[in-house]
Amino acid sequence: MAKSKKTTFECSACGNLQAKWMGKCPECGAWDSFVELKQSEVEFLKSVAKQSAVTPKAQKITEIKVEQIKRISTDDSELDLVLGGGIVEGSLVLIGGSPGIGKSTLLLKISSNLAKNGLKTLYVSGEESLSQIKLRANRLDAVAENLYLLAEISLENIKNELTNNYKILVIDSIQTLYSEAISSAPGSVSQVREITFELMRIAKERGICIFIIGHITKEGSIAGPRVLEHMVDVVLYFEGDASKELRILRGFKNRFGSTSEVGIFEMSSSGLIPAKDANSRFFTRGEAASGSAITVIMEGSRPLILEVQALVCESSYPKRSATGYDKNRLDMIIALLDRKMGILLGGYDVFVSVIGGVKISETAADLAVVAAIVSSFKNRPISKESLFLGEVSLNGEIREIPNLESRVKEANLQNFKTIIAPNRISNTKGVKFFVTKEIRQILEWM
């Protein structure tokens, strides 16, 4: 009797291997993530692991020489900022984002910029024909002598083309490529992992800068195995609404720089361009309005002035909703308003939204959220010349925030007249400070 082949299952999120299918991955905790691997795929993965198994020798840290990192400017100030000063030679950069957000548009323009600077660049597309890419390049003014286009999905054919001494490679997108060494379909766990591993090896051995475009899932993460993000050097995500002009490029991993910086782009007729005077795009000026408060957050070294809007209305089935702000933090603030200020919102809907599609990840905007909710509840307009800065604690105190000087400096540049904060700084011409230590003092100011 023939011996049955051993079945192997792999987690599509983290790559964990199991002898049987499991509902929940014991390694990463993902549910319903195991897929069956064919025997040929298992043998191939074992051969790759065997080939890459090299026993390293330990070295004294005092004997190790630090290599100088060489960076190449992309001629795009926002992308250079997020990358930490430019592309690093031999780096592997993954850019993710929802469909239509501008990934292909940005990288085609960047490919043109690099080609115009004398760097031989190869743009590989598995989704569009050469004529479609050329039409977009004409619209973006991205036609350059050193820019080469290739419509191909076979990794082996792309590797053959790379023997022509390219310095920059763009892959659009990683989910469309396949390797003949693996029998599974393009976009599968094994295909994505093997192709990324091979691209990483090429980047390091030949010093080629490689950009990979990755589609994202409905949960907002890169489609494919999570090990993809661990293998690359840089992970960037596009944020924002595809129907709006502004896009934000945020760094989530960078082996050669900080991940705290963001790039702000504007979609125009000539493609994605660095947004001019970006700070004025996230708030509106004009007459005082109820349910609206303005604050300043820090995105890396850049202060951004944002408008927070709130809507409070009576309801038989109260709802709480937050767009661009942490929902758990909103629930805490509503509880504090009940306990410390006597504002009972149990029978009211509370909606909070941040203008411009920005997601606030710091607590310095808490005071602005409080002001916007109180303003909407009491229907008291707040001046558009005022800024609210401060973190709200569980006992109702307003705590000091970092980088207050940078925030106030930006407020000065945008001609704001009043700042409500838990502390003040000296030498601020033209700006009035109202020091607020507890949230109940907001009522006194309003």
Q: Which residue ranges make up the annotated binding site for ATP? A: 97-104
Can you spell out the DSSP letters for 111-155?
Answer: HHHHHHTT--EEEEESSS-HHHHHHHHHHHT---TTEEEEE--BH
Measured CA to CA, the distance from residue 283 to residue 306 in angstroms comes to 5
Measured CA to CA, the distance from residue 64 to residue 99 in angstroms comes to 44
Can you spell out the DSSP letters for 274-288?
Answer: EPTTGGGGS---SS-
- Asked if 74 contacts 86 with a C-beta cutoff of 8 angstroms, the reply is yes
Distances, alpha carbon 237 to alpha carbons 45, 88, 120, 134, 136, in Å: 29, 18, 26, 25, 22
The distance in angstroms from the start CA to the end CA of the chain is: 86
Which residues fall in the annotated binding site? 97-104
Measured CA to CA, the distance from residue 160 to residue 186 in angstroms comes to 19
- Nearest CA-CA partner of 419 in 389, 381, 391: 389
Q: Which two tokens stand for residue 371?
A: 């002001």
Measured CA to CA, the distance from residue 271 to residue 106 in angstroms comes to 7
Q: Which residues, 6 or more positions from 199, have their beta carbon under 8 angstroms from its beta carbon?
A: 92, 169, 171, 210, 212
Q: Is 437 exposed, middle or buried (0-12, 13-18, 19+ CB in 10 A)?
A: middle
Angle at 338 between CA 336 and CA 342, to 5 degrees: 120
Distances, alpha carbon 371 to alpha carbons 119, 180, 312, in Å: 53, 60, 12
Please provide residue 426's backbone torsions phi and psi, each rounded to the nearest 5 degrees.
Answer: -85, 170
- Asked if 169 contacts 196 with a C-beta cutoff of 8 angstroms, the reply is no
Count CB neighbours of 104 within 10 A.
23
- Asked if 174 contacts 191 with a C-beta cutoff of 8 angstroms, the reply is no
Q: Is 254 exposed, middle or buried (0-12, 13-18, 19+ CB in 10 A)?
A: buried
